[in-house]
């Protein structure tokens, strides 16, 4: 999988005098059915979260409060996407290495996942990840 498959997705946004409302529906606004949700919050300054990739899981990450950066790589290229509003997020397909960094005070990340938690789906060793990606690229 290459970084071109990563997408920033704008969510529906309903605005009126009472404030704004955004929502997310699986297989409509994001390209998978939502099987699990979790939040990341109270990350101490200078810390980062989740340097890993997944064999099969797809994710959608949105900043519900505050801001943070999503650092992405396919083993060859790297890019950073800053999330700081609740009306857009980032779609990350399987086999993209990601790390969350640069959390602001009181930031809250919402993560929607395509499968239930499965420890065996994680690739937590970056060198192993690069080897798998290299073999996939050489196969193509």
Indicate which residues carry an active-site annotation: 52
**Three-class SS of residue 106?**
coil
Q: How far apart are the first and last CA of the chain?
A: 11
Rounded Cα distance, 94 and 89, in Å: 16
Rounded Cα distance, 66 and 104, in Å: 6
Task: Quote the tokens at residue 90.
Answer: 């980032």
């Amino acid at each position: 999988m290459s970084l071109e498959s990563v997408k920033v997705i704008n969510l529906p946004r309903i605005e009126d005098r009472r404030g704004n409302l955004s929502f997310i529906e699986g297989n409509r606004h994001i390209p998978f059915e939502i099987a699990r949700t979790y939040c990341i919050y109270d990350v101490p300054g200078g810390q980062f979260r989740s340097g890993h990739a997944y064999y099969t899981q797809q994710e959608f990450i949105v900043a519900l409060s505050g801001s943070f950066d999503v650092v992405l790589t396919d083993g060859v290229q790297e890019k950073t996407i800053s999330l700081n509003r609740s009306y857009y997020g980032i779609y990350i397909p399987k086999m993209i290495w990601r790390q969350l960094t640069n959390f602001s005070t009181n930031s809250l990340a919402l993560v929607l996942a395509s499968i239930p938690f499965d420890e065996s789906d994680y690739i937590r060793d970056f060198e192993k990840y690069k080897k798998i990606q290299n073999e996939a690229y050489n196969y193509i």
